[in-house]
Amino acid sequence: MKFRDIYQNADRPVLSIELFPPKTAKGRAHLDRELAQLMQHPVGFVSVTYGAGGSTQANTLELVKAIRKRYEITTVPHFTCVGASRQSVREYVDRAMADGAENLVALRGDPPKGETSFKPAPDGFRYAYQLVAFLKEIYGDALSLAVAGYPEGHVETRDLALSVRHLKQKVDAGADLIITQLFYDNKDFFRFRDLAVKMGINVPIVPGILPVTKYSQINHITKLCGAKIPAELTRLLVAFPDGSPDQQMAGIAAAIDQAGELLENDVPGIHIFTLNNSFATSHMAAALGHYFE
Ligand X SMILES: Cc1cc2nc3c(=O)[nH]c(=O)nc-3n(C[C@H](O)[C@H](O)[C@H](O)COP(=O)(O)OP(=O)(O)OC[C@H]3O[C@@H](n4cnc5c(N)ncnc54)[C@H](O)[C@@H]3O)c2cc1C
The residue ranges that bind ligand X (CB under 6 A) are 49-50, 52, 78, 80, 105, 107-110, 127-129, 148, 154, 156-157, 163, 166, 169-170, 179-181, 208
Backbone angles phi, psi at 67, to 5 degrees: -70, -40
Distance CA 288, CA 39 (A): 15
Name the β-bridge partners of 270.
15
- HSE at residue 218, side-chain half, CA atoms within 13 A, is 28
CB of 104 or CB of 280, closer to ligand X:
104
Question: Least Å distance between CB 246 and ligand X?
Answer: 29
Q: Is 18 a catalytic residue?
A: yes
CB of 164 or CB of 250, closer to ligand X:
164
Tell me which residue of 203, 198, 200, 209 sits closest to 260, measured CA to CA: 209
CB of 250 or CB of 280, closer to ligand X:
280
CB of 13 or CB of 109, closer to ligand X:
109
Alpha-carbon distances of 100 from 11, 50, 95, 96, 196, rounded to whole Å: 25, 17, 9, 7, 32
* Other beta carbons less than 10 A from residue 5's beta carbon: 13
Question: Least Å distance between CB 43 and ligand X?
Answer: 16
Catalytic entry in 18, 34, 102, 152: 18
Alpha-carbon dihedral 146, 151, 157, 158, rounded to 10 degrees: 180
Question: Least Å distance between CB 85 and ligand X?
Answer: 17
* Residues 19/63, Cβ–Cβ less than 8 Å: yes
What residues are labeled active site?
Answer: 18
